[in-house]
């Protein structure tokens, strides 16, 4: 019962880990997301082997496993911004892909907290992600997240369309 575009990455007696590849590529490869459900009802998410703070996305890390809750978790988690998985460097990166070039940076906010930023050179500025205003991403990545949400809504609407029988 694996959702479309997901795959089972690892399974053992105490947990199961699902994988998901993002549609956007950085440094010539697509980021991979790993979603782990444990028998203790804990949820963890890694992007390119880096742990993601689910609280910043208002996603609980402990949940009752039901048909509805599992579907909602898969839906929410795949909308997490793929740049979360990258180690941030102060130097320029010129090999995000053939079409996307940019810099990976650290930004110190007014409260002194360093936030991860991925800024593409064709973006004019950095805008906050709608789910959490303290997480900064660039316009191109913001559009990526918005497109993922739009595509998932369209696919849900197609599934709910009435079917005519001839």
Per-residue pLDDT tens digits for 92-105: 333 333 334 455 55
Least confident residue range of 11-15, 110-114, 119-123: 119-123
Same domain, 14 and 76: yes
Does residue 159 sit within a domain? Answer: no
Does residue 163 sit within a domain? Answer: no
Q: Which of 82, 112, 139 is the last residue of a domain?
A: 82
Does residue 164 sit within a domain? Answer: no
Same domain, 54 and 64: yes
Same domain, 34 and 12: yes
Same domain, 125 and 135: yes
Same domain, 62 and 88: no
Does residue 123 register a pLDDT over 80? no
Same domain, 11 and 75: yes
pLDDT tens digits, one per residue of 65-94: 888 888 889 988 888 877 666 544 433 333
pTM of this prediction? 0.58
pLDDT at position 39? 93
Q: Which of 20, 52, 82 is the last residue of a domain?
A: 82
pLDDT at position 89? 41
Does residue 161 sit within a domain? Answer: no
Q: Which of 61, 82, 103 is the last residue of a domain?
A: 82
State the total domains in the chain: 2
Tell me which residue range forms the domain holding 120: 83-154
Q: How confident is the model at residue 127 (pLDDT cuts 50, 70, 90)?
A: very low
Report the 3 state secondary structure along the chain. CCCCCEEEEEECCCEEEEEEECCCCECCECCEEEEEEECCCEEEEEECCEECCHHHHCCCCECCCCHHHHHHHHHHHCCCCHHHHCCCCCCEECCCCCCCCEEEEEEECCCCCEEEEEEECCCCCEEEECCEEEEEEEHHHHHHHHHHHHHHHHHHHHHHCCCCCC
Same domain, 100 and 66: no
């Amino acid at each position: 019962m694996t959702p479309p575009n997901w795959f089972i990455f690892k399974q053992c007696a105490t947990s199961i880990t699902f994988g998901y590849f993002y549609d956007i590529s950085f440094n010539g490869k697509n980021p991979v997301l790993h979603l782990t459900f444990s028998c203790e009802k804990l949820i963890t998410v890694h992007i390119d082997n880096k742990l993601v703070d689910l609280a910043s996305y208002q996603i609980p890390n402990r949940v009752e496993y039901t048909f509805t809750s599992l579907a909602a978790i898969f839906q929410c988690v795949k909308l997490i911004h793929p740049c979360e998985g990258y180690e941030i460097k102060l130097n320029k990166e010129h090999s995000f892909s053939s079409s996307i070039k940019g810099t990976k940076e650290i930004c110190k906010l007014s409260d002194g907290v360093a936030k991860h930023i991925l800024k593409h050179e064709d973006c004019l500025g950095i805008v906050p992600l709608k789910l959490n205003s303290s997480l900064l991403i660039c316009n191109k990545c913001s559009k990526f997240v918005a497109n993922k949400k739009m595509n998932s809504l369209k696919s849900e609407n197609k599934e709910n369309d009435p079917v005519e029988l001839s």
